[in-house]
């Protein structure tokens, strides 16, 4: 919902800036309009990221409460059947497609680091319907962890679920991520 909201507003602003840009004949003023547009969109990205962090916190709280409510705090039905998995959960296009989509969705400006390279292992559950839940990134950089979690929750496709004894099953998934900061 957050993504749709900001995409809608981004499209409206894009149209308005384009009208203003196209109506202007002075080259210097056109350049100033373009600069204002780029500056405004960068600020909008930052505001959207703040909203996504809020949404992430809400989703994680709901998931944590649901886990406590239904299982007493222990996610069941995951490793118990690991030996019987006939088919593991898979993302459409494979793991490389998933990695590329996550990389494209990462809000790099939201990652604060003195180090050139940051890493995280992102653990999540692929549910029986192919959706994902309980996304938790573990790494040394808190801001990269949060951006990785937001990116995972934002992927466009559902997984094909794991299969155990002919039935769809929940499946614990791990994807390692590395971000190299460029000056």
Summarize pLDDT for 96-141 with one digit per residue, the tens. Answer: 999 999 988 888 888 888 889 999 999 999 999 999 988 999 999 9
Q: What is the mean pLDDT of the chain?
A: 84
pLDDT of residue 90: 93
- Model confidence over 59-83: pLDDT tens digits? 776 676 666 566 544 444 554 445 5
pLDDT at site 92: 94
- For the stretch 144-159, pLDDT in tens is 998 899 889 888 899 9
Q: Say what the pLDDT of residue 78 is.
A: 54
For the record, the structure tokens of 12 come out as 């409206």
Q: What is the pTM of this model?
A: 0.66
Q: Residue ranges per domain, the chain?
A: 1-73, 75-183
Nearest to 130 by CA among 155, 161, 101: 161
Contacts with 168 (C-beta within 8 Å, 6 or more apart), sequence order: 128, 129, 161, 162
Q: How confident is the model at residue 79, as a pLDDT?
A: 46
What CA–CA distances, in Å, run from 68 to 61, 74, 77? 11, 7, 15
Contact predicate 123/78, CB 8 Å: no
pLDDT, residue 55, reads 75
Decide: 152 and 135 in contact? Cβ < 8 Å: yes
Please list the residues that pair with 174 across neighbouring strands. Answer: 123
Q: What percent of the chain has pLDDT over 70?
A: 86
Residues contacting 178, CB < 8 A, separation 6+: 117, 118, 119
Please tell me the predicted confidence (pLDDT) of residue 175. Answer: 92
Domain 75-183 annotated CATH 3.40.720: no
């Amino acid at each position: 919902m957050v993504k749709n909201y900001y995409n809608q507003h981004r499209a409206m602003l894009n149209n308005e800036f384009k009208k203003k840009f196209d109506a202007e004949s002075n080259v210097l003023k056109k350049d100033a309009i373009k600069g204002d547009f780029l500056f405004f969109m960068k600020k909008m990205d930052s505001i959207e990221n703040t909203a996504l962090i809020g949404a992430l916190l809400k989703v994680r709280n709901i998931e944590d409460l649901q886990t406590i409510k239904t299982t007493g705090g222990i996610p069941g039905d995951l490793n118990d059947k690991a030996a019987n998995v006939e088919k593991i959960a898979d993302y459409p296009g494979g793991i490389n497609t998933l990695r590329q989509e996550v990389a494209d969705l990462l809000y790099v400006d939201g990652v604060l680091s003195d180090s050139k390279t940051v890493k995280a292992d992102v653990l999540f559950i692929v549910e029986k319907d192919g959706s994902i839940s309980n996304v938790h990134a573990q790494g040394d950089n808190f801001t990269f962890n949060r951006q990785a979690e937001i990116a995972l929750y934002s992927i466009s496709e559902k997984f094909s679920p794991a299969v155990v004894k002919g039935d769809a099953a929940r499946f614990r998934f791990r994807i390692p991520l590395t971000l190299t900061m460029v000056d």
